[in-house]
Amino acid sequence: MSILSSIFAVLAQTLSIYSLVLLVRVLLSWFPNLDWSNPVLATVSSITDPYLNAFRGLIPPLGGLDLSAIIAFITLSLAQDLLGSLSASLPSGGLGF
């Protein structure tokens, strides 16, 4: 596996982990009485909110529902697929075995 292929694979895995953190953030937003000053919740929020804020201006909330997370997940999924396919399509830089 070439170095560039390895980098793409690591980036795709990182986006996969970020998707899980984003899913946790979205699920926690359904509980309005949570104390967001909790260090764990504040960390999750500080990691995911800048990314979500990029999409919040694209779709206004409909009936109190923030649908920007759907676009955020779709974008992350497309980026993961792109990086995964780039990683798989690069020739291996091995010893020719």
What residue segments make up the domains of the chain, in order of their start?
A: 3-89
Whole-angstrom Cα distance, residue 87 to residue 4?
A: 8
Cβ proximity of 47 and 21 under 8 Å: yes
Whole-angstrom Cα distance, residue 88 to residue 81?
A: 10
Entry pTM: 0.82
Buried b (16+ CB within 10 A) or exposed e, 15-53: beebbeebeebbeeeeeeeeeeeeeeeeebbeebeebbe
pLDDT, residue 97, reads: 38
pLDDT, residue 21, reads: 96
SS3 97: coil
Tokens standing for residue 58 = 């694209």
pLDDT, residue 93, reads: 54
pLDDT, residue 95, reads: 42
Whole-angstrom Cα distance, residue 18 to residue 76?
A: 9
pLDDT in tens, the chain (97 residues): 578 888 888 999 999 999 999 999 999 988 889 898 999 999 999 999 999 999 988 887 788 777 889 999 999 999 999 988 888 887 765 444 3
Q: Which residues pair with 12 in a beta bridge?
A: none
